[in-house]
């Protein structure tokens, strides 16, 4: 489903995966390593509403957040040469999946539940989707959500890798893919 009209080297990279797997942190690192601009979709949504995500959910509801998420991604994923981190719920929307998969290289950051659950304390205050749920319910959501992350072009399992190791792996694998599919003359 990769767009055949755009050079692979020009395509933006989109990071997907469950809340807290590191999309924002690793996206920033990869952007720095590839000298590209970084866009975090949640930060763009927060700028538009001029408030944090937890407030958006409280004041306007999840539906308003999802509508804005879709319009922001539809517009920004058309740009080339960007590194884009989308929120963990973005791929619930088929339109978002399709636009990202056809315009960009979609990288899935995979982390096992046993590792993920150690991070919950870092996440709970800023992730409204986690706030109303018990640990058992979060685990169920974690496994249910895996289906939407199966839509990707490339994947890395980040268990036991620090942020720099993950970013280096991604940059190296992108360079290999670019060289194989579009060798420089």
Ligand X SMILES: Nc1ncnc2c1ncn2[C@@H]1O[C@H](COP(=O)(O)OP(=O)(O)O)[C@@H](O)[C@H]1O
Ligand Y SMILES: O=C(O)C1=C[C@@H](OP(=O)(O)O)[C@@H](O)[C@H](O)C1
Residue 19 binds to ligand X (criterion: CB under 6 A)? yes
Nearby residues of 156 by Cβ (< 8 Å), 6 or more positions away: 107, 108, 109, 110, 166, 169, 170, 173
Contact 138, 120 (CB under 8 A): yes
Q: CB-wise, 5 or 150, nearer to ligand Y?
A: 150
Q: CB-wise, 6 or 25, nearer to ligand Y?
A: 25
Q: Which of 21, 30, 96, 104 binds ligand X (CB under 6 A)?
A: 21
- The pair of structure tokens assigned to 74 is 């539809």
Q: Which of 13, 22, 90, 152 binds ligand X (CB under 6 A)?
A: 22
- H/E stretch holding 73: helix 62-76
What does 89 bind: Mg ion, ligand X, ligand Y, none (CB cut-off 5 to 8 Å by kind)?
A: ligand Y
Determine how many CB atoms are found less than 10 A away from the CB of residue 37. Answer: 12
Site for ligand X in 129-158 (CB under 6 A): 158
Contact 111, 159 (CB under 8 A): yes
- H/E stretch holding 164: helix 163-181
Residue 24 binds to Mg ion (criterion: CB under 5 A)? yes
Task: Provide the binding-site residues for ligand X, judged by CB under 6 A.
Answer: 17, 19-26, 85, 119, 122, 158, 161-163, 166
In the complex, the residues that contact ligand Y under the rule CB under 6 A are: 19-20, 23-24, 42, 53, 87-89, 127-129
Q: Which residues are annotated as a binding site for Mg(2+)?
A: 24
């Amino acid at each position: 489903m990769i767009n055949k009209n755009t050079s692979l080297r020009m395509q933006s990279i989109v990071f997907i995966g469950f809340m807290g797997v590191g999309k924002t942190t690793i996206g920033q690192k990869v952007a720095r390593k590839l000298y590209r601009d970084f866009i975090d979709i949640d930060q763009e949504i927060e700028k538009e509403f001029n408030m944090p995500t937890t407030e958006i959910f409280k004041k306007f509801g999840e539906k308003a957040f999802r509508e804005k998420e879709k319009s922001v991604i539809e517009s920004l994923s058309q740009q080339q040469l960007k590194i884009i981190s989308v929120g963990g719920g973005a791929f619930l929307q088929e339109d978002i999946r399709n636009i990202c998969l056809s315009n960009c290289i979609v990288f899935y950051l995979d982390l096992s539940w046993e590792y993920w659950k150690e991070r919950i304390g870092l996440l709970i205050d800023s992730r409204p989707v986690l706030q109303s749920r018990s640990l058992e319910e979060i685990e169920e959501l974690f496994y249910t959500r895996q289906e939407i992350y199966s839509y990707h072009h490339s994947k890395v399992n980040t268990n036991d890798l620090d942020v720099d190791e993950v970013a280096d792996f991604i940059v190296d694998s992108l360079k290999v893919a670019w060289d194989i599919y579009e060798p420089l003359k």
